[in-house]
Each structure stands twice: as structure tokens, then as C-alpha cells.
């Protein structure tokens, strides 16, 4: 997996000290790490349930992915963006919405 740069982001949604990271995740094997099967295969029912994809199409896609994986022709890449921060103390936030007072 390739890694991007860490950078500080402005506080938002009640968080402070927010750090963001983006990276390129890539695999040529669905079973290289449990993450891949969970991320790609096990989320398909959620897409069907949300009416984003038809059940028959989902099953066809999964069958194709498994066949490609078995022939070692599977490849997937995703750009993953994540943010993590510390929840702002609600008392401090209520008394100082600008966040300028010492914590």
C-alpha cells in the first residue's frame, strides 16, 4: 500500500487536533489480507439493501471477482481518505465556540 502525507486539518464537527491522511490501497489478491474480502465482497449486501445495485448484478460481480482472483487476474486499487481527531470538551466549546481559550 502506498502512503500519502499526514497534514493537519482545520477543526470541524466538534473535533480538534484533526489529522487527515490519504493513501492508495492496492491488491492483486482478494485473500492477501482479510481487509480486502471484507471491504470488497462482504459489503455488497449493503449496496443491494440500499438499492444501489440489483441483487442479480451484485452476484454476477462477485462471481466475476472470485473467478478473476482464482485465475490470478484480479487487481483493485482504492484511494482511502481518513480523518481522526479529539472530541472537543463540550463545556469548553459551549463557553468558547471559537476554540481560542486554553484547554
| CB of 6 closer than 8 Å to CB of 18 | no
Strand partners, 79: 24
Boundaries of every domain in the chain: 7-86
Residues 6+ apart with CB under 8 A from 95: 101
Q: What pLDDT, on the 0 to 100 scale, is given for residue 92?
A: 53
Mean pLDDT in runs of 10 for the chain (103 residues)?
47 75 95 92 94 97 97 95 83 55 49
pLDDT at position 23 is 92
| pLDDT at residue number 2 | 44
Angle at 64 between CA 59 and CA 67, to 5 degrees: 125
The whole-number pLDDT of residue 41 equals 93
Amino acid at each position: 500500500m502506498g502512503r500519502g502525507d499526514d497534514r493537519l486539518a482545520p477543526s470541524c464537527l466538534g473535533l480538534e487536533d484533526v489529522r487527515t491522511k490519504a493513501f492508495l490501497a492496492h491488491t492483486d489478491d482478494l485473500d492477501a489480507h482479510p481487509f480486502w474480502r471484507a471491504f470488497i465482497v462482504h459489503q455488497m449486501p449493503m449496496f443491494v439493501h440500499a438499492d444501489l445495485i440489483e441483487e442479480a448484478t451484485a452476484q454476477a460481480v462477485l462471481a466475476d471477482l472470485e473467478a478473476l482472483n482464482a485465475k490470478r487476474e484480479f487487481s483493485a486499487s482504492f484511494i482511502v481518505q481518513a480523518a481522526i481527531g479529539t472530541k472537543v470538551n463540550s463545556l469548553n466549546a459551549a463557553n468558547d465556540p471559537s476554540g481560542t481559550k486554553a484547554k
